[in-house]
Amino acid sequence: MKALLLRMPPDNPDPEQIEEAGRIIREGGLVAFPTETVYGLGGNALDPASSKKIYAAKGRPSDNPLIVHIAEWEALDRIAAEVPQKALMLGRIYWPGPLTMIFSKTEEVPYETTGGLDTVAVRFPSHKVAQALIRASGGYIAAPSANLSGRPSPTKAVHVIEDLGDRIDAVIDGGDADIGLESTIVDFTEDVPVLLRPGYISVEKLREALGEIRVDPGIIADNSGIIPKAPGMKYRHYAPKGTLSVVEGRPEDVIRTINSLIEEAEKAGRSCAVLCADETASSYRGKVYILGCRADEEEVAAALFDTLRQLDTDGVEYIYSEAFPSENLGAAIMNRLLKAAGHRIIHAGEESL
Ligand code: AMP
Ligand code: MG
């Protein structure tokens, strides 16, 4: 089966094609669609068989729950058993947008969608095509990122076709994802809200809105020991096929260390490359992949997953990345980069201590 390809501008959904895609989902099929964060792989969230299909298409472990996407506030009551005041307040600021909130679920939401949990993750995306599709599909789309499990999330329709082109019914190409990193996830099932996954809405902004917020320790831990509360965060993720290491330290130490690692790898006949910011790109020997200006977090975020995929396409075996600042959106960038690297961190400069 080859996926039907539908194409439309991000801000002007085509009613006929949306109706066709909506029908596919209503009838139990799968449609990948653009959102402001990354492309999602959508099925009817209230139909257990559709959710099972999503797991099968992605090769995703079935204990890793899906996010339910809605396109109007009124849709929340049917799937969330209790929505605390704080969540309403946060939603009023950031919905529609790149925010996912976790609530206790109603009986309408099948366990197949929530990975067996009694809670449900809900997002109200701002992307016009996503909203139109959700409405045309019956109001509830379960959608994880539209990549094969473990690969970088898709920020372009071609990424989806590369991974899932022969495993799903249709792909809507609505241009590149604006943000390029998955939504911020906040759990509202405990007394104090808990950040489960950093995203475009930073912990600084959440704290401003909510006052108190805890950060799940699983977010920053390496893959050993602490188990994160968002089940998906425990899996190896976003990984390129090559071996990626993140090099931390003072800029001059990072440059020296990466250059010597590249020299070694080249001597051994390996293909290797550097992942870096624009400002330092000319300091490296060998091939460089530029994520954007160090000071422009949004540019770096939007380029990250596409660049990781490009490294695969180019067959790079060893990748050395600069670390990026970890304030604000930088926390989400470093979270994804370190996961992609399997927490392989090299501390530059320590050899000279
Ligand atoms: P993806 O859509 O691929 O970004 O994956 C969805 C993310 O949401 C995964 O990391 C899940 O673990 C997380 N998630 C979804 N539902 C829940 C839930 N009920 N409780 C905690 N995390 C959730
Ligand atoms: Mg994903």
Domains in the chain: how many in total? Answer: 2
Domain shared by 202 and 325, yes or no? no
Please give the mean pLDDT across all residues of the chain: 94
Domain shared by 250 and 116, yes or no? no
Tens digit of pLDDT for each residue in 144-165?
Answer: 999 999 899 999 999 999 999 9
| Binding-site residues, ligand 1, Cβ < 6 A | 64-65, 67, 102, 114, 117, 119-121, 144-145, 182, 185, 196-197, 229-233
Q: Which atom of ligand 1 is nearest to the CA of 117?
A: 19
Backbone angles phi, psi at 291, to 5 degrees: -85, -25
Instruction: Pull the structure tokens for residue 299.
Output: 């540019």
The pLDDT value recorded for residue 353 is: 43
Mutation to probe ligand 1, out of 38, 197, 233, 235 (largest number of atoms < 8 A from CB) = 197
Q: What is the CATH number of the domain that holds 86?
A: 3.90.870.10
Q: Which atom of ligand 1 is nearest to the CA of 144?
A: 2
Domain-embedded: residue 273: yes
- In angstroms, rounded to a whole number, what is the distance separating the alpha carbons of residues 103 and 308? 33
Burial of 326 (0-12, 13-18, 19+ CB in 10 A): middle
Give the CA distances from residue 253 to residues 259, 320, 346, 349, in Å, rounded to whole numbers and listed in that order. Answer: 10, 13, 11, 5
Q: What is the pTM of this model?
A: 0.94
Domain shared by 171 and 256, yes or no? no
Q: Is the pLDDT of residue 53 over 90?
A: yes
The pLDDT value recorded for residue 220 is: 63
Domain shared by 147 and 275, yes or no? no
Query: Which residue matches tokens 């910011």?
Result: 277
Q: How far is the CA of 62 from the centre of ligand 1 (A)?
A: 11
Q: Which has more confidence, 233 or 108?
A: 108
Domain-embedded: residue 238: no
The pLDDT value recorded for residue 234 is: 61
Instruction: Pull the structure tokens for residue 20.
Output: 């066709």
Q: Which atom of ligand 1 is nearest to the CA of 120?
A: 19
Domain-embedded: residue 229: no
Domain shared by 213 and 247, yes or no? no
**pLDDT band at residue 55 using 50, 70 and 90 as cut-offs:** very high
Q: Which atom of ligand 1 is nearest to the CA of 67?
A: 15
- β-pairing, 318-322 vs 243-248, is parallel
Q: What percent of the chain has a predicted confidence (pLDDT) above 90?
A: 87
Domain shared by 252 and 212, yes or no? no
- Give the bridge partners for 105, in sequence order: 80
For range 40-56, the mean pLDDT = 98
Domain shared by 207 and 248, yes or no? no
Q: Is the pLDDT of residue 291 over 70?
A: yes
Q: How far is the CA of 162 from the centre of ligand 1 (A)?
A: 23
Instruction: Pull the structure tokens for residue 72.
Output: 């109007």
Mutation to probe ligand 1, out of 30, 66, 216 (largest number of atoms < 8 A from CB) = 66
Instruction: Pull the structure tokens for residue 234.
Output: 């425990």
- In angstroms, rounded to a whole number, what is the distance separating the alpha carbons of residues 239 and 220? 17
Domain shared by 41 and 183, yes or no? yes
Q: How far is the CA of 249 from the centre of ligand 1 (A)?
A: 32
Domain-embedded: residue 235: no
Domain-embedded: residue 38: yes
Tens digit of pLDDT for each residue in 292-322?
Answer: 999 999 999 999 999 999 999 999 999 999 9
Longest dimension (CA), the chain: 65
Instruction: Pull the structure tokens for residue 89.
Output: 């307040």
Burial of 320 (0-12, 13-18, 19+ CB in 10 A): buried
- In angstroms, rounded to a whole number, what is the distance separating the alpha carbons of residues 174 and 130? 9
Domain-embedded: residue 140: yes
Q: Is the pLDDT of residue 277 over 80?
A: yes
Q: Is the pLDDT of residue 346 over 50?
A: yes
Q: How far is the CA of 284 from the centre of ligand 1 (A)?
A: 38
Tell me the residue ranges of DSSP E strands in the chain.
4-7, 31-33, 40-44, 67-69, 99-104, 119-123, 141-142, 170-173, 184-187, 194-197, 214-215, 243-248, 272-277, 287-292, 318-322, 345-347
Domain shared by 191 and 316, yes or no? no
Domain-embedded: residue 352: no
Q: Is the pLDDT of residue 83 over 50?
A: yes
Domain shared by 178 and 247, yes or no? no
The pLDDT value recorded for residue 349 is: 83
Domain-embedded: residue 231: no
Mutation to probe ligand 1, out of 38, 55, 102 (largest number of atoms < 8 A from CB) = 102
**In terms of residue numbers, what domain contains 326?**
243-347
Domain shared by 161 and 289, yes or no? no
The pLDDT value recorded for residue 262 is: 95
Q: How far is the CA of 101 from the centre of ligand 1 (A)?
A: 10
Instruction: Pull the structure tokens for residue 305.
Output: 């997953």
The pLDDT value recorded for residue 63 is: 86
Query: Which residue matches tokens 């472990």?
Result: 61
The pLDDT value recorded for residue 163 is: 97
Secondary structure (DSSP) of 57-96: HHT--TTSPPEEE-SSGGGHHHHBS---HHHHHHHHHH-S
Tens digit of pLDDT for each residue in 212-247?
Answer: 999 998 776 555 456 667 666 666 677 788 999 999
Q: Which has more confidence, 39 or 221?
A: 39
Domain shared by 196 and 257, yes or no? no
